[in-house]
A and B are shown apart, each in its own frame.
Chain A
Amino acid sequence: DAGVTQSPTHLIKTRGQQVTLRCSPKSGHDTVSWYQQALGQGPQFIFQYYEEEERQRGNFPDRFSGHQFPNYSSELNVNALLLGDSALYLCASSLAQVSNQPQHFGDGTRLSIL
Chain B
Amino acid sequence: LAKTTQPISMDSYEGQEVNITCSHNNIATNDYITWYQQFPSQGPRFIIQGYKTKVTNEVASLFIPADRKSSTLSLPRVSLSDTAVYYCLVGDIRTGANNLFFGTGTRLTVIP
Contacts and interface: CB of A to CB of B under 8 A. Distances in A.
A107 to B, nearest CB: 5
A48 B91 CA distance: 15
B87 A56 contact: no
Interface stretch (A13-21, A66-74, A86-94): A86-94
A77 interface: no
Given A41-B104, A110-B41, A56 B98 contact: yes
Contacts of A104: 46
A103 B87 CA distance: 13
A44 interface: yes
B32 A99 contact: yes
Contacts, number: 68
A99 B94 contact: yes
B102 A44 contact: yes
Interface string A38-81: 00111111001000000111100000000000000000000000
B93 interface: yes
A4 B43 contact: yes
A46 to B, nearest CB: 9
Given A41-B104, A43-B44, A100 B49 contact: yes
B30 A99 contact: yes
Interface string B29-44: 0101010100001111
Given A42-B102, A42-B105, A100-B49, A90 B43 contact: yes
Contacts of B105: 42
B7 to A, nearest CB: 14
Interface of A: 4, 33, 35, 40-45, 48, 55-58, 88, 90, 92, 94, 96-108, 110
